[in-house]
């Protein structure tokens, strides 16, 4: 009898041990995450992770906030090469070709295989999926996504004798209105610029918007050809330069991405172009009445989509890939996507999210929240090619040389195109 109880007791102890081991054997996911705007992004993500872990106790997610998009890509790929555990990341949607070329990611088609999974993959806005697909497969899932929108100070419009409910709809109107909005003190020093477009951080992105508006996309779908030297592109860069050199409505030289939002909030610029990802921060920080509108047109309206996609890294195990999928589906679910959009200003990535009661009410009360989404009808894929970091830098450098007055647009863009040709030729 004594021996039997000993065996029973040992069995109980063993079960407890094994149970504890099983409990400890949660799938652990490391996610590299970029922070490209101000506001409570990290807290929002941490809270969403905590909610996911509560609902899924067998999965633990650690967010590694690694800087901006470029920093995050470099650090994530370095960690993978060093055999550190990195299962997923939010990286630039435009990193797609580079990640594929490095064989770093796995297509979602190989992970999301059920009928429900496939339905989920088809639920996102088509314009956001343009930077997710290549070679007939889906490699990224939209999450931290945006378009460029125009923020404007309605009080400044009233002061300048302009209709605060009629922001500029064309390039011509923006230049003309910006001249009226530019304000100087008695000494002739500018105290408020008419318009500012950031030229650091992501100058290629802002410039791509101008090019689209002037009727031309900067690259082909296969990511192996650019069109930097086309007349429409040269004209677009000339207009950007003219805002400072001809119209005197924006500062000479560069306009900093990171500080522009604060300048707008301080009344130092009446109009700014910026990501919709700043919308919530602007709403909370503005001490004046402001508006948000689509970008103005030249030959057409247009903005590239922007921001980051979820990617699953190839080195993740089969179990980890499924855990990644579960987490990504949770983060992109309509209700979570709606809450994410309201908390940050980034667009909700699916039509279903905008049909949730929470987001419907939010948009009804705050129509500016729908502008970036409504602009999808004019949006195209963001600049994405093979060796994207190199090619993007070529364009960024050309833009900077023109905006600082060092080179004329035709020369700068012609040289950038020649160099891009050499980089991309092996991929044709």
CATH for 104: 3.40.190.10
Residues 10 and 108 in one domain: yes
Q: How far is CA 306 from CA 109, 318, 369, 383, in A?
A: 23, 30, 16, 9
> Is there a contact between 295 and 150 (Cβ–Cβ < 8 Å)?
yes
Q: Does residue 414 fall inside a structural domain?
A: yes
User: Would you say residue 373 lies in a domain?
Assistant: no
Q: Are residues 396 and 347 in the same domain?
A: no
Which pairs from 75-79 meet CB under 8 Å and 24+ separation? 75/32, 76/32, 76/313, 77/102, 77/104, 79/30, 79/32
- Per-residue confidence in pLDDT tens, the chain, 428 aa: 445 444 544 444 444 444 444 445 789 999 999 986 655 789 999 999 999 999 999 999 999 998 889 899 999 999 999 999 999 999 999 999 999 999 999 999 999 999 999 999 999 999 999 999 999 999 999 999 999 999 999 999 999 999 999 999 999 999 999 999 999 999 999 999 999 999 999 999 999 999 999 999 999 999 999 999 999 999 999 999 999 999 999 999 999 999 999 999 999 999 999 999 999 999 999 999 999 999 999 999 999 999 999 999 999 999 999 999 999 999 999 999 999 999 999 999 999 999 999 999 999 999 999 999 999 999 999 999 999 999 999 999 999 999 999 999 999 999 999 999 999 999 99
Specify if 235 maps to a domain: yes
Assess if residue 177 is contained within a domain.
yes
Task: Flag whether 227 is in a domain.
Answer: yes
Tokens at residue 266, please? 């301080």
Q: Token digits for 315?
A: 């080195």
Q: Are residues 40 and 91 in the same domain?
A: yes
345 and 244 together in one domain: no
Q: Is residue 375 part of a domain?
A: no
Instruction: For residues 168 and 28, state if they share a domain.
Output: no
Q: Do both 206 and 265 map to the same domain? A: yes
Please report whether residue 416 resides in a domain.
yes
State how far the alpha carbon of 420 is from the alpha carbons of 25, 164, 197, 209, 394, in Å: 48, 43, 25, 20, 7
- Whether 53 and 136 share a structural domain: yes
Residue 33: φ, ψ to 5°: -135, 130
Structural domain contains residue 28: yes
Last residue of one domain, picked from the residues 316, 333, 366: 366
177 and 207 housed in the same domain: yes
Domain that holds residue 155: 147-305+381-427
**What pTM value is reported for the model?**
0.90
- Give yes or no: residues 229 and 349 share one domain: no
Domain boundary among 318, 334, 366: 366
Contact indicator for 127, 212 with CB cutoff of 8 Å: no
Residue 284 · residue 366 · CB < 8 Å:
no
Q: Do residues 199 and 400 lie in contact, with contact meaning Cβ atoms separated by under 8 Å?
A: yes
> Do residues 240 and 329 share a domain?
no
Q: Does 96 share its domain with 19?
A: yes
Q: Tally the domains of the chain.
A: 2
Same domain, 134 and 54: yes
């Amino acid at each position: 009898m004594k021996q039997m109880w000993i065996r029973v007791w040992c069995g109980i102890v063993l079960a407890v041990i094994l149970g504890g081991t099983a409990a400890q054997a949660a799938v652990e996911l490391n996610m590299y995450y970029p922070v490209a705007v101000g506001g409570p992004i990290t807290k929002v993500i941490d809270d969403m992770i905590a909610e996911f872990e509560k609902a899924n106790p067998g999965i633990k997610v650690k967010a590694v906030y690694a800087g901006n998009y470029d920093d995050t890509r470099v650090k994530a790929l370095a960690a993978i090469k060093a055999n550190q555990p990195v299962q997923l990341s939010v990286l630039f949607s435009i990193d797609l070709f580079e990640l594929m070329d490095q064989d770093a990611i796995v297509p979602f088609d190989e992970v999301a295989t059920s009928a429900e999974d496939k339905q989920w993959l088809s639920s996102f806005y088509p314009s956001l999926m343009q930077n997710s697909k290549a070679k007939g497969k889906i490699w990224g899932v939209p999450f931290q996504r945006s378009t460029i929108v125009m923020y404007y100070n309605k009080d400044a419009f009233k002061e300048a004798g302009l209709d605060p409910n009629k922001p500029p709809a064309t390039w011509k109107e923006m230049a003309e209105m910006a001249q009226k909005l530019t304000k100087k003190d008695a000494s002739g020093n500018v105290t408020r610029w008419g318009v500012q477009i950031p030229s650091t951080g992501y100058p290629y992105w802002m410039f791509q918007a101008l090019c689209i508006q002037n009727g031309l996309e900067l690259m082909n779908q296969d990511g192996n050809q650019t069109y930097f030297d086309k007349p429409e592109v040269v004209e677009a860069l000339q207009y950007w330069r003219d805002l400072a050199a001809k119209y005197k409505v924006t500062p000479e030289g560069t306009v900093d991405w990171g500080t522009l939002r604060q300048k707008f909030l301080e009344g130092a610029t009446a109009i700014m172009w910026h990501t919709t990802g700043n919308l919530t921060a602007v709403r909370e920080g503005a001490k004046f009445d402001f508006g948000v509108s689509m970008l103005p047109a030249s030959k057409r309206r247009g903005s590239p989509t922007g921001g980051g996609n979820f990617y699953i890294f190839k080195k993740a195990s089969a179990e980890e890939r499924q855990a990644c999928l579960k987490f990504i589906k949770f983060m992109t679910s309509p209700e979570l996507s709606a809450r994410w959009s309201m908390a940050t200003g980034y667009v909700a990535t699916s039509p279903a999210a905008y049909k949730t009661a929470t987001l419907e009410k939010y948009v009804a009360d705050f129509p500016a929240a729908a502008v970036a989404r409504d602009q999808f009808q004019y949006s195209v894929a963001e600049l994405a090619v093979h060796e994207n970091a190199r090619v993007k830098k070529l364009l960024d450098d050309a833009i900077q040389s023109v905006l600082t007055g060092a080179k004329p647009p035709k020369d700068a863009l012609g040289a950038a195109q020649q160099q891009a040709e050499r980089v991309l030729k092996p991929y044709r």
